[in-house]
Structure 1
Amino acid sequence: MRKFNLLFIFIILLSLGACRSESETPAELTTETVLKTGKLSGKVMSQNGSKPIGGASVFTFDDKYKIYHTLSDSDGNFVLEAPVGAKTVYIQTGNGSNFRTEISATIKDNETVNLTTNQTKLNQVAKIAYVKGSYDKIEDIITNLGYTATEITNADLANINTIAQYDIIFLNCGSRNYATNQSLYPLIDTNLAIFVANGGSIYASDWDVSYLVGGTDNTNNCSLSGGFVPDSKLCSKNIGSTGLLAASVNNAGLTAALGFNTLNINYDLGAWQKIINYDPAYWEVLVKDATTNDALMLRTNQFTATGIPTTPIGNAPNTTFTTVCITLPGNIQITLSVPTVAVPYLVALGATVGPCSGASGSGYIYYTTFHNHATGNIGNAGVILQYVILNL
């Protein structure tokens, strides 16, 4: 009889255990994976440590290639939160193809690791060239940031093999010298088109809009012969008046990187190239006249042309990085350069190869009606030109 009672009790206990719902499972039997994270903090600086860099992308990936990303503020400061462990951290400006740094760092659980300014200096990857001008010296700003540029001439611009060595070309105001180099300009027009269509980037200031749209040393009419940017996309006339002009920054990313959205630009020459009209689908306005809304600074990566030969430009043939478009939370898209070996994994997570916007293969063209005049009297415009250098 005792054996029967014990057996009956055992059966009852088994049935009670089988009827217990999942919600009644003891807490000590539940396993839950909690992602352990930590933070990296630092200050992005120019290569010589003289200038904080705002608007730089700082990012890393976890072991499944999920991205963790932040931006440096106008003083160069950043805090990046990411999973714990040994990571490669990337610091980039622009799309990352011309200026970037890689850092090995260990992220610790619930701690903030401070990176030194020696670690967070933004390195130059691009090969940079400039044509000497009469009215400004962009090369001085490049050098003051700790970067290097090689002087080339209009004769070099007429040789595609020469300019194809570079990733970026700066055209200083007054460098065109059309009268003494007139025979070179058909070749220069062709070569600049090849250069940009294959990913090279160009900055031109003031009078040197003539490299883009044609004309002589400056332009006084629309639809002039020469140049490589279609006449329908831009017209500029040398009719700007001397004086201090109130301007506003028209791009949220540029504003955040600079830390201001208004400035006074000193146009201290007798005349400057005033933008008469432009195609807003082709150009993005970065800085405008605060009173008239006239464009003062434009950029585009929309350049296309038929019959352009495929030509390797600058570091492109030897790079181990690929440009991709990644979508962040909030449907924010960013263009970055990532190790090529990571691309298939990122594509599987939704990234696309190439920039988030612009024509496939096109480099950037930046044009400013202002420049760093030899007098040095440019105020905050100089900070904007630093941004231009680092984002080409």
Structure 2
Amino acid sequence: MKKSYLFIVMLLFAFLVSCTGEETFTQPETSVAALQTGKLSGKVMSQNGNKPIGGASVFTFDDQYKIYYTTSDASGNFILDAPVGNQTIYIQTGNGSNFRTEVTATVKNNETVNLDASQTKLTQVAKIAYVKGSYDKIEDIIQTLGYTATEITNADLANMNTLAQYDIVFLNCGSRKYSQYASLYPLIETNLGIFVANGGSIYASDWDVSYLVGGNDNTNNCSLAGGFIPDTKLCSKNTGSSGMVPGTINSPALATALGFNTLNIDYDLGAWQKIINYDPAYWEVLVKETSSNDALMLRTNHFTSTNVPNTPIGNAPTSQFVTMCVTLPSNVQITITVPQAAVPFLVALGATVGPCSGASNSGYIYYTTFHNHATGNIGNAGSILQYVILNL
């Protein structure tokens, strides 16, 4: 009888402890099936299927939101290790907010499943606008990839309600008609600062650096009036002379995506903007002149702006996706965009909301001293400009 009584007391004690939650328990062991993986192969292409896309992020998650990640090579090819079962594969460029595609596939243990090319075309999510220039036609390059852009004017840049409809704005060299729109430029520059601070992205070429730092149709000196980039962050002067300039790709990610790291850039017009100095904490040099190391192409690394109103930009108000910084098992950080439902799970694993570099809500600015006109001899620079389009 005593033994039976003691046994009942022990059972009651165990029951009470488990109910109070004071006992520590271990995570259930992962099943063998969850550890099984297969491979997915494919080729990332532009929307019209004409251009392979290098440097695209390709990833998926397992049931515990562990990420499986790779990138496409310069020919657009990729092979992704993935957990077995029905998976959603995400294909993105840039931070994933402007160009992305989702593919559903069944991964088989120790097998390679080839994705059809029709599944891996990169879809345009962004609303894109451009301002017509006198020298450049980035809209033609956008079209050759199968994407669309809407023409807007300087008057539209001065209207925040109009500007805020777009995610990306391209400023073609020669679009800044200062004598015609002089009274609008203070407002235009303020609006562009608001646009980027709230997640919009800008690409400006050559003379259109004046939108960024001030000046008239171009910028002929440092610290001119106007612009929304502080004068301490960038100085550019229109002192370049025509001719072929040997360039070096300074960004490993860009070089990998393109498949080359040197090129000759044809500056076929004189008086192009030479970058005199820049703040390396503010800008990342993507392309430089080989002999002098002068910067030829910049991208904002840490864009910030103070006292800027919170303004919804482009697709942001209706998007069900969130941009996040995720750390890979190799401790490399990547910026990707994921469905909202995945956010709390990724945060629990250490991910953070917002990009891995720069202000959490800001977009990017790309600036090239060289042209993008489709009729000119842009050579390998054309691949660089396609990369810019897809990574804004």
TM-score by length of structure 1 reads: 0.91
**Per-residue deviation at 1:374?**
5.1
* SS of equivalent to 2:276: strand
The separation in 2 between residues aligned to 1:308 and 1:33, in whole angstroms, is 52
**What one-letter code is carried by the residue in structure 2 that aligns with 1:383?**
S
**How far did residue 375 of structure 1 move?**
3.1
Residue 52 (structure 1) aligned with residue 52 (structure 2): yes
Find the aligned partners of 1:309 and 1:94 in 2 and give their Cα distance.
Answer: 25
Decide whether the 8 Å contact of 1:135 with 1:374 is kept in 2. Answer: no
Mapping for residues 24-35 of structure 1, pairs under 5 Å: 33=32, 35=35
Q: Which runs of 4+ in 1 moved over 4 A?
A: none
Spell out the pairing of 1:62-141 with structure 2 (5 A cutoff): 62-141=62-141
The 10-residue stretch of structure 1 (151-160 or 326-335) with the greater mean CA deviation from structure 2 = 326-335
Give the aligned partner of residue 317 of structure 2: 317
Letter in 2 for 1:33: V
Alignment root-mean-square deviation, CA:
1.1
Partner of 1:244 in structure 2? 244
3-state SS of paired residue (2:189) = helix
Distance 1:350 1:209 in 2: 38
**Separation in 1, partners of 2:49, 2:318:** 28
Deviation at 1:33, TM superposition (A): 2.7
1:389 is aligned to: 389
The alignment partner of 1:179 has SS state of: helix
Measure, in 2, the Cα distance between the counterparts of 1:230 and 1:207.
17
TM-fit CA distance, 1:78: 0.2
| Match of residue 205 from structure 1 | 205
- CA distance in 1 between partners of 2:303 and 2:375 (Å): 34
Displacement of 1:350 after TM fit?
1.1
Determine whether 1:343 maps to 2:346. Answer: no
Unmatched 5+ residue regions in structure 1?
1-30
1:217 maps onto 2:222 in alignment: no
Which position in structure 2 is the counterpart of 1:308?
A: 308
Question: Match of 2:248, as an amino acid?
Answer: S
1:301–1:359 contact (8 Å) kept in structure 2: no
Match of 2:232, SS? helix
Counterpart amino acid of 1:157? L
Query: What is the letter of the counterpart of residue 110 of structure 1?
Result: N
Name the SS of the counterpart of 2:317 in structure 1.
helix
Answer yes or no: is the 8 Å Cα contact 2:45–2:52 preserved in 1: yes
Kindly state the Cα deviation for residue 362 of structure 1 after the two structures are TM-superposed: 1.1
Q: Deviations over 1:328-362 (max 9, x none)?
A: 12211000000111010011111111111111211
Aligned equivalents of 2:149, 2:306: Cα separation in 1: 31
Secondary structure of 1:42 counterpart:
strand
**Contact 2:141/2:374 (CA < 8 Å) preserved in 1?**
no
Question: 2 CA distance for matches of 1:278 and 1:176?
Answer: 22
Kept in 1, the 8 Å contact 2:205–2:372? The answer is no
Q: Given residue 190 of structure 1, which amino acid in structure 2 is its aligned partner?
A: T
1:54, 1:286 → 2: CA distance?
Answer: 16
> C-alpha offsets along residues 157-185 of structure 1, whole Å, 9 cap, x if unaligned?
00000000000000000000101110110
SS at match of 1:316: coil
CA distance in 1, matches of 2:76, 2:203: 24
What amino acid maps onto 1:41 in structure 2? S
Query: Computing the radius of gyration over CA atoms, which structure comes out larger, 1 or 2?
Result: 1
Q: Identify the residue that residue 180 of structure 2 maps to in structure 1.
A: 180
Aligned equivalent of 1:361 = 361
Q: Secondary structure at the match of 2:236?
A: strand
Among the aligned pairs, what percent are the same residue?
79
Deviations 1:19-57 (A, max 9, x none): xxxxxxxxxxxx983621111100000000000000000
1:221 Cα deviation after fit: 0.5
Deviation at 1:188, TM superposition (A): 0.1
- Checking the alignment, whether the CA contact within 8 Å between 2:126 and 2:315 is kept in structure 1 is yes
Which structure 2 residue ranges, 5 or more long, are not aligned? 1-29
C-alpha separation between the residues in 1 aligned to 2:207 and 2:87? 47
Aligned partners of 1:274 and 1:369 also within 8 Å? yes
